[in-house]
Amino acid sequence: MDRLIYLCVLLCLSLAGQPVRAQTGVPVRVRPPDGELEQNPRYAPLLKRNRYLALDVIGPFGFKRYRFHEGDEIRFKARGEVYRETLYAVTDSSFSILVENEVMNRMETISFRFGDVKWIKIDRQIPFVSAGAVMLPLAGGVFAVADFVNPKAPDGRSGRFRFDPGSLIPAGALVAGGVLCYKLAHARFRINKNHRLKAM
């Protein structure tokens, strides 16, 4: 019991020490080196901000819009393939991504209609939840290992290098909590009537 209380206190301190960032569905854009912005076609979308790709999500808690501007990284599945590339251009019914042709050693674009997209994955930075996706499974593993190596307890149920089956419940709960946090922080939205792509 003392180990469980100590572990909970340690976990709370670890989560409290995590930096709190605003929730967003748009990846952070990194500015390229000086002089390369105008010369490299990879950064051409950064020179204009006229249109963006919108993912409108209608869920049990209301409406949410995630925006992907030209130059942002986008992860999605279309035509049987999974892509994680730079959004290059947006039109009324389609969008283009920028990919590297390793054979020709040059950048090329690939276009997709909105109907081609099966799902889009969004990485959300949610305070405590994003940290819990890493810290909770780690805490569960530490708890199980600590129960295995600690000296014999006064109740006689466990001892050094003896595994107590009862420790599987709290350790498993921590791991399951971490999986749930990961699903919330890295959501995948299947395109349907409640999850729609549109150009704005």
Q: How many CA atoms lie within 13 A of 189 on its CB side?
A: 24
Say what the pLDDT of residue 42 is.
Answer: 60
pLDDT tens track for 23-59: 444 444 455 555 555 556 565 555 555 689 999 999 8
User: Confidence class of residue 177 from pLDDT cuts 50, 70 and 90?
Assistant: confident
Q: Among 35, 117, 123, 30, which residue's Cα sits nearest to residue 76? A: 117
Q: What domains sit in the chain, N to C, each tagged with a CATH number?
A: 2-18+127-183 (no CATH), 36-123 (2.30.30)
Q: What is the reported pTM?
A: 0.59
Q: Among 51, 39, 27, 48, which residue's Cα sits nearest to residue 107? A: 39
Are residues 188 and 66 in contact, defined by beta-carbon separation less than 8 angstroms? no
Distance CA 89, CA 96 (A): 5
Pairwise pLDDT comparison (154 vs 147), residue with the higher score: 147
Q: Sort 11 into a burial class: Cβ within 10 Å, 0-12 / 13-18 / 19+.
A: buried
